Amino acid sequence: MTETFDKPEIRTPENLVYSKTKVLTDNVLSYCPGCGHGTAHRLVAEVIDEMGIQNDTIGVAPVGCSVLAYNFFDIDMQQAAHGRAPALATAIKRLYPGKFVFTYQGDGDLAAIGTAETIHACNRGENIVIIFINNGIYGMTGGQMAPTTLPGMPTSTSPYGRDTHIMGNPLKMTEIVATLPGTYMVTRQAVHTPAAVRKAKKAIRMAFENQKLDKGVSFVEIVSNCNSGWKLSPVKANEWMVNNMFPFYQLGDIKMNGELVK
């Protein structure tokens, strides 16, 4: 029999430091091993749990890897047509002004087919939270090139790397919406290390708190990995993300309290 290193004597409720929040269901997440989606889901769920707004929150699921988000959150969810989550969230928030409304979108959804809806919702200053997961690739459909794909980054539809002369330049949605008057808070975070996860959670918490102020859109981008699409192991994908994604998509607050951060 092998040694287990268990310490059953300290496994008591008063010693509990961390366990999965009850706002997430017990369903096994449909994401690949090591995908940042799972961490981002958990952060949103923990914020909802800590604020005690489980019964007052309505989420909008996108099309993409996270299309099944309604199976994982134990809150009211709707699933929008491709890219139309901000439009649907607008309607929900206007019909139920007292509810907390958030959209959870990937880059293929928010930055490609949903560009118009996103920009107009941000420009109107709808009082919603937009969580934007950016991994620079269309993960669900097989790793095709997305508008956010980095220059030179190989994907299944740009196997020799993205050539910006032919395929155009990557789109920094977060910087674009930060210039619009309707956004109140715009930030870019990551979830690859414990420190980054804790920081991202604070940003998501602040975004949900901002909904009480009725000041406009709170936009949280989370730069994430796509180890299946990038054809790397999860740990290697995180390293690749630090070395290649972060220089282009720089982490940090871009707009706080309605003012651009210098």
Partner 1 sequence: MAKITGDIVIDIEKCKGCEVCNTACPQEVIGMSKEVNSKGYNYAIKVNGNCVGCANCAVVCPDGVITVYRAKV
**Residues contributing to the site for partner 1 (CB under 8 A):** 4-8, 10-12, 15-21, 24, 28-29, 31-39, 42, 191-194, 197-198, 227, 233-235, 238
Question: Considering the complex, what minimum distance in angstroms separates the CB of residue 257 from partner 1?
Answer: 27
Residue whose CB is less far from partner 1, 11 or 262: 11
- CB atoms closer than 10 angstroms to residue 89: 27
Question: Considering the complex, what minimum distance in angstroms separates the CB of residue 33 from partner 1?
Answer: 4
Question: Considering the complex, what minimum distance in angstroms separates the CB of residue 40 from partner 1?
Answer: 9
The C-alpha angle with vertex 33 and arms to 32 and 38, in degrees rounded to 5, equals 75
Question: Considering the complex, what minimum distance in angstroms separates the CB of residue 174 from partner 1?
Answer: 22
Pair 163, 242: CB distance under 8 Å = no
Beta bridge partners of 252: 188
Residue whose CB is less far from partner 1, 159 or 194: 194
Q: With helix as H, strand as E and coil as C, how does 114-181 read?
A: CHHHHHHHHHHCCCCEEEEEECCCECCCCCECCCCCCCCCCECCECCCCCHHHHCCCCCHHHHHHCCC
Residue whose CB is less far from partner 1, 169 or 233: 233
Tokens describing residue 249: 């998509």
Question: Considering the complex, what minimum distance in angstroms separates the CB of residue 66 from partner 1?
Answer: 13
Question: Considering the complex, what minimum distance in angstroms separates the CB of residue 141 from partner 1?
Answer: 21
- Helix H or strand E encompassing 260: strand 259-260
Identify which of 49, 75, 40 has the alpha carbon closest to the alpha carbon of residue 199.
Answer: 40
Helix 115-124 to helix 85-95 angle (10° resolution) is 30
Residue whose CB is less far from partner 1, 16 or 166: 16
Residue whose CB is less far from partner 1, 7 or 262: 7
Residue whose CB is less far from partner 1, 31 or 104: 31
Question: Considering the complex, what minimum distance in angstroms separates the CB of residue 153 from partner 1?
Answer: 22
Interatomic CA distance for residues 125 and 90, integer angstroms: 10
Residue whose CB is less far from partner 1, 212 or 231: 231
The arrangement of strands across the sheet holding 252-256 comes to 76-79, 57-61, 100-106, 129-134, 217-223, 183-190, 252-256, 259-260
Identify the residue whose tokens are 């910006």: 164
